[in-house]
Structures are given as C-alpha cells and as structure tokens.
Amino acid sequence: MLGQTCFTVSACLNSALGGSAFHPSEGGWLRLSRSEQTADTLVSIVVSTHAGERLLAGCLEMLLAQTIAPRTEIIVIDSGSPENERSIAENFQGAHANVRYLRTERETIFAAWNRGLSMSSGTYFVNVNVDDWIRHDALERFALALDQHPDASLAYAHWATTRRAQQPPGPDDVVNFHPAYEPALPLFYTYSGCTQFWRRSSLVELGGFDPSLLACGDLDVLIRLAERGGTAVLVPEVLAGYFHNPEGISLSTDNSILEQVELFTAARANMPLDRLYAIDPGDSLAVGDAWVTLGNFAFDVGVPWHDGPLRDTDFALECYDRALAMSPDHADALHNRYILLVIVGRHAEAVLILDRLPAAEAAVLRGVDLALRRPAIQPAVRGPVFT
C-alpha cells in the first residue's frame, strides 16, 4: 500500500479502491452498479475538454483506433465548455458503448481527471489531452509494461513536442528522451511528460490529483509517489506527442512556473532522504554522503527538454551545506562546495573552504582537481526499463 492522502471525495475514491465506481452528476455522487461497468475494461482513459469542440472528434477517433480499443473505456469530461462537445460525444456514444460523457461546471483539469478516476473501472488509468497525439499502440505498450512490472505504479515513455495538434512528430519536432526512474527526479521536473499511465489502484491510494492546482497536479502526484516509496517503469519508445499550444495551461500563464517553485521547495524541504537514497537515517556519515549525492544530482541532472544539465547551483550548495551540518569536515561536501562557488563567481567564499582543508588537498583543489566527488550512494529505488 502506498498510503492515502486524498484530494478528492474520500468516500468516492475509497469505494473505488474496493471495486465500486462512482460518478458525479448535477444531483451529487451516484453509485454505478457492477452491471453498469465494463467487466473487461483494461484501460480507463480520461479526456478533459473545454472549448475543444474542433479537436474532440479527432481525439476520440485516435483513441478508438488504439490496438486495445475494445478493452478501453473513454470518459469525456466536458468542463463547462462554451462549445458543443456534447453532440460530438453523443454521436460517438451511438456507435461505441465504451464512450462515456459528463458535463460539469468549469473546474481545473485535475478536478476533471479526478472525476474520470472516480468513474473509471479499468485496471489502468491514463489521461489524454484533446490536442495531443499518442501512437496507435501506446496504451498496449504501457499496459504490457505494468503487467511485466507489478511493483510499478506508473508507466511513462519518451515523447515529442509537436507543432501540430493530434499529429505524430515530424522531422523538425524535438524528441524528449527520459532516463529510468529514480526517486529524486520529481524534485526537478515532471519526468512522466504529457501522458501519465497509472495502475489505477495505486493512483487511488495516492488520493488522485490535487484539484486546487491549475497547472502542476501531474508533478505533485509524482512527488507523492516518491514520498511513499513507489516506483515507475520507463517504456523507451516515443509513444506520445505534446502539442506546443501557446494558449494551453502550461504556456498561457505563469501558473506553471509559480506552482513548480512551490512544489519543488516543499518537496526538497520535506522529502525523507531515505526515500531518495538507500541509507540508514541513523548513520550520520551515510546521510552526509546522501546530501552530497543529491547536490551533485541538482547540478548534473538533465531535463529532457533543456539543452544541457539543469545546474541548480543554489539547491546543490544547500545540499552540501546540509552534509556539512551533519559532518563539518565532510571532505566531499567541502570539495564540491568549493567547485560550485568558483563556478558561480563567489570566490571569497570559496577561499574560506580552502582554509578548512589540509594544505596539500587545498593546493590540489586550487590547481587541477575540479571534478565533483561522488560518494558511493545508490538510489532507494531504481525503476525498471520495459523491454
């Protein structure tokens, strides 16, 4: 069990955990009987739409063309759209029994995903944005990955940034390649990209998505997965395309940046270090080594859609300081702190570190030894790679 911190209707999600499904309506939360659920549903797909009338049909056609389409349910959440998505959804419902539709008042996309989660009955749960693209066998590949790795709560893959809605990546589109999972990743970026393919029971145990967030609910739930010691499996294939929409949630306002800063700050302050690294919290030397390792990660980590390493120098220096708080003479922390202070031009502070080192070591450091030192600390969890 991953533990529970519910951000949605607790009774709904707790019942979903036990196998009952719920859905919201204008009259409240209505129970769906077992006979009303699709017995053989493998994947539940939530599509949240607001002013997406021109794109919804194409999105539904793409999903119904998936290789495992007969084993999916598609849950369309019309989030107070001023357009006529209802008629499009109802047309599809006439021909496809696995298409469901619900209209709500305007709400955040993560509140809409929670509604879809509460209505879902599949073994797996995935969001698909109405303007994005997924490969024709993407859902099958994700499902196979979680089937092969029953300890994993989430599957994710490489993806491309596209310039055309619902279209596969072209020769000029950038492909974002992701590393295998380790718990420190969500302290720096949303490693799942635009499509999160969840083991439904795990997502329910995590409490679903935080509906109060406007842009970064997907990052928030990844942080909570790491806090609870979960893991994720990488499918090393390009399975999705994220449409670079200037009017979308991530790009149209500053909400994404502001929420990221808040989430990163809280996670870095509160994440138990032994959730990130395989250490004994009572071993001060190991804890110091782990802080040095996290500091190195902050400086070295490559965000797939950035051109180079993140170089989060401020957080790296904070980590080295935490190592030194555990052990004031921690040689690797002193060494690495000196290097980063030199890099950012804080030479006066760097010189003070040399005064704390043995003369011979200080002379070497001042001259040629400018590589970061790396303690032999391993991640608490290494996510598998699907083959």
Q: Quick one: average pLDDT of 368-381?
A: 90
Which residue spans within 111-231 are E strands per DSSP? Answer: 124-127, 133-134, 154-162, 174-176, 197-199
Indicate the length of the chain as a whole number: 387
- Among candidate residues 235, 155, 237, 236, the one with its CA nearest the CA of residue 202: 155
Tokens at residue 237, please? 């294939």
Over residues 332-354, the pLDDT tens digits come to 999 999 999 988 999 899 889 88
Average pLDDT over residues 52-81: 98
Number of Cβ within a 10 Å radius of residue 266: 12
Q: Name the pLDDT band for 358 (thresholds 50, 70, 90).
A: confident
Check residue 22 and give its pLDDT. 30
Task: Give 307's pLDDT tier (boundaries 50, 70, 90).
Answer: confident
Distances from the Cα of 330 to the Cα of 30, 94, 335, angstroms: 59, 68, 9
Q: What percent of the chain has pLDDT over 90?
A: 77
Number of Cβ atoms within 10 Å of the Cβ of 272: 12
Whole-number pLDDT of residue 7: 39
pLDDT value for 23: 34
pLDDT of res. 179: 95
Specify the 3-state DSSP secondary structure of 201.
Answer: helix
- When pLDDT is cut at 50, 70 and 90, the band that residue 252 belongs to is very low
Q: Measure CA 364 to chain center.
A: 42
H-helix or E-strand spanning residue 372: none
| Segment 58-71, tens digit of pLDDT | 999 999 999 999 99
If pLDDT is split at 50, 70 and 90, which confidence band does 39 have? low
Rg (alpha carbons) of the chain, rounded to whole number: 23
Residue range 117-173, pLDDT digits in tens:
999 999 999 999 999 999 999 999 999 999 999 999 999 999 999 999 999 999 999
Task: Spell out the domains of the chain, with CATH numbers in brackets.
Answer: 10-266 (3.90.550.10), 280-367 (1.25.40.10)
pLDDT at 368: 64
**Amino acid of residue 204:** V
Question: Tell me, what's the pLDDT at 79?
Answer: 96
Q: What pLDDT score does 333 carry?
A: 95
Listed residue (62, 245, 227) closest to 136, CA to CA: 62
Q: How far apart are CA 1 and CA 3, in angstroms?
A: 6
Q: Which two tokens stand for residue 150?
A: 């029953």
Dist. CA 353–CA 338, nearest whole Å: 6
pTM: 0.87
Residue 4 has pLDDT above 60, yes or no: no
Share of the chain above pLDDT 70, in %: 87
